[in-house]
Structure 1
């Protein structure tokens, strides 16, 4: 099994404010640094504070809530209680 350097990135997780500027290479190919890597749907940030993940979850929740509000109009559409159950 070989590593595909074009698809490989690296991330640094640290509580320190002095993060070194690394230049990592595989097979003479420079690796790209990814500040907010996503793994199995979870977004990590460099200080592991979960702020980026919380923002993402919040945006998705707001978007879905607005969709439910549109589907449950005041004079038309389904009852909001029914929509929340499904």
Structure 2
């Protein structure tokens, strides 16, 4: 089984049509990856389905970077 980091970065890369190496823990969703609201909703749905987790709908939960998202998923699936 691959790590949560590998799974999350693969899902993001696939959704955005970029290489997995282009997605780092430091990548900010809005500024570095240029994810808009529609892409964010699609990405949220993909992660929830593939990782069997519910993500917060409120962006104020502090999930600004890929690393934040990875930590959130790890805390709830670990």
TM-score, scaled relative to structure 1: 0.21
More helix by share: 2
More strand by share: 1
